[in-house]
Amino acid sequence: MTTPQTLPQKITKSYVDRLSTPDTGQAFIRDTELKGFAVRITSSGTKSFILEKRIDGKVKRLTLGRYPELTVEQARREAHKLLGHIATGRNPVAEKKQEALQGTTLQQAFDDFVKTRKNLKERTLYDYRRLMKVAFADWQEKAMTGISKDMISKRHNKIGSERGEAYANLAMRFLRALFNFAIAQYEDGSGKSILHENPVMRLTQTRAWYRIDRRQTVIKPHQLASWYQAVISLKHDPISSQSALVADYLLFLLFTGLRRQEAATLKWSAIDLNDRSFTLTDTKNRQPLTLPLTDFIYELLEKRKAVANSDYVFAGDGKSGYLIEPRCQVQKVIQLSGVSFTLHDLRRTFITIAESLDISAYALKRLVNHKMSNDVTAGYIVSDVERLRKPMEQVSAQLLQYFCTNGI
């Protein structure tokens, strides 16, 4: 067997066949007849042909292909062709990169999007992945450059008819964000984006977005008593031991106005029963929030703490460790009370009652952790936990009063 060496040789089939592998790394044997043409062999035994040539002031190494899939004669012809391209001012390296970028699929772009957006919340990432699997399952391996405006319009209509107009808008907002990312991320050798425009903008230009009225549903005051009675009945459910925890979860949402994920992921380490307060660090607007515990919620948590066996206040049986949306129990409350509601309706109910009590806008925004970045006056107001205790108790007292309606 011939030992790989750095001295130039005439590269032939018989010579390549006789090459032995280096102990480590890789070895290069350069051709004596065609400058820049060479064969590379690695310690794993892989043999491939390369071309080395100065392009735009720098020596570039282009891989022509592996041996024996590519013969010596074929590799030599390919090297001649590339040298001709380079002689006329073309850049094969940039062209190869451009070709690869042009073929970037929707799935590849999504993977890069997730890697780049390191601070995506777990729930947001879950929703995005679901959209990829549900709304764009047949587009995942499609090149982004091949997704046209007409395709966008047809897919928007298709999703709207099959899964609802709100879901169709949601899917297209996600796709719009993915295309905006790709426009900024993938550039050719001259720094120009491989995508000339965002095709989802067709929906804006033609005013084709579905008009979705924002939900305004709340549990009305006269419904709260029967709703409360139905929730309490969960505590005596003989079939599911989880129902009592769900009952506390529903009451906690109503009495705090928290978003469902904020409450579900709340840990005991974030609750200070001595100070009668709790702190949220992973909020929707990424601003930490410390809120007071009202007497009602304090007693609820005290009883739950006595039987707790998890780091999460509202523990679940799944991999996450915390309670996932309890559809069965919610449906049972709806059936028993005759009050149709969603978990987010509880937050809207809290806000509606707080507004009816003439709680200041600044205190209310702080209670529900709405951003006040555009309000200059709000920037001078410090709403600490003690200043929020009174308005929180006011809402709690009003809720308890509604619960007592009709003798309950």
In the structure, what pLDDT confidence band is assigned to residue 376 with cuts at 50, 70 and 90? very low
243 and 356 assigned to the same domain: yes
Give me the pLDDT at residue 285, please: 61
Give me the pLDDT at residue 400, please: 95
230 and 369 assigned to the same domain: yes
Query: Is 5 a domain residue?
Result: no
CATH classification of the domain holding 400: 1.10.443.10
| Of the residues 37, 63, 90, the one at which a domain ends | 90
Instruction: Give the mean pLDDT of 97-121.
Output: 84
Query: Is 41 a domain residue?
Result: yes
181 and 267 assigned to the same domain: no
193 and 311 assigned to the same domain: no
83 and 115 assigned to the same domain: no
Q: What is the pLDDT of residues 157-171, one digit of tens each?
A: 999 999 999 999 999
39 and 111 assigned to the same domain: no
258 and 299 assigned to the same domain: yes
Query: Is 278 a domain residue?
Result: yes
Give me the pLDDT at residue 88, please: 74
Give me the pLDDT at residue 380, please: 40
Give me the pLDDT at residue 381, please: 41
311 and 366 assigned to the same domain: yes
Q: What is the pLDDT of residues 163-214, one digit of tens each?
A: 999 999 999 999 999 999 999 988 876 667 878 899 999 999 999 999 876 6
162 and 234 assigned to the same domain: no
Q: Say if residue 3's pLDDT is above 70.
A: no
- The percentage of the chain sitting over the pLDDT mark of 70, rounded to a whole number, equals 89
Give me the pLDDT at residue 378, please: 43
201 and 57 assigned to the same domain: no
| Of the residues 153, 172, 205, the one at which a domain ends | 205
Q: What is the pLDDT of residues 95-104, one digit of tens each?
A: 566 665 678 8
Q: Say if residue 375's pLDDT is above 70.
A: no
In the structure, what pLDDT confidence band is assigned to residue 371 with cuts at 50, 70 and 90? low
| Of the residues 172, 205, 238, the one at which a domain ends | 205
Instruction: Give the mean pLDDT of 41-69.
Output: 87
Query: Is 383 a domain residue?
Result: yes
Q: What is the mean pLDDT of the chain?
A: 87
Range of weakest confidence among 14-28, 162-176, 272-286: 272-286
Q: What is the pLDDT of residues 394-404, one digit of tens each?
A: 999 999 999 98
In the structure, what pLDDT confidence band is assigned to residue 372 with cuts at 50, 70 and 90? low
Q: Say if residue 63's pLDDT is above 90.
A: no
Q: Say if residue 2's pLDDT is above 70.
A: no
CATH classification of the domain holding 69: 3.30.160.390
Residue-range definition of the domain harbouring residue 123: 106-205
Instruction: Give the mean pLDDT of 227-253.
Output: 91
251 and 382 assigned to the same domain: yes
Q: Say if residue 89's pLDDT is above 60.
A: yes
In the structure, what pLDDT confidence band is assigned to residue 236 with cuts at 50, 70 and 90? confident
148 and 77 assigned to the same domain: no
Query: Is 96 a domain residue?
Result: no
CATH classification of the domain holding 170: 1.10.150
Query: Is 98 a domain residue?
Result: no
The total number of structural domains that make up the chain: 3
Greater confidence (90 vs 390) lies with 390
Range of weakest confidence among 134-148, 211-225, 309-323: 211-225
Query: Is 164 a domain residue?
Result: yes
HEC per residue, the chain: CECCCCCCECCCHHHHHHECCCCCCEEEEEECCCCCEEEEEECCCCEEEEEEEEECCEEEEEEEEEECCCCHHHHHHHHHHHHHHHHCCCCHHHHHHHHHHHCCEHHHHHHHHHHHCCCCCHHHHHHHHHHHHHCCHHHCCCEHHHCCHHHHHHHHHHHHHHHCHHHHHHHHHHHHHHHHHHHHHCECCCCCECCCCCCCHHHHHCCCCCCCCCCCCCCCHHHHHHHHHHHHHHCCCCCCCHHHHHHHHHHHHHHHCCCHHHHHCCEHHHEECCCCEEEECCCCCCCCEEEECCHHHHHHHHHHHHCCCCCECCECCCCCCECCCCHHHHHHHHHHHCCCCCHHHHHHHHHHHHHHCCCCHHHHHHHCCCCCCCCCHHHHCCCCHHHHHHHHHHHHHHHHHHHCHHHC
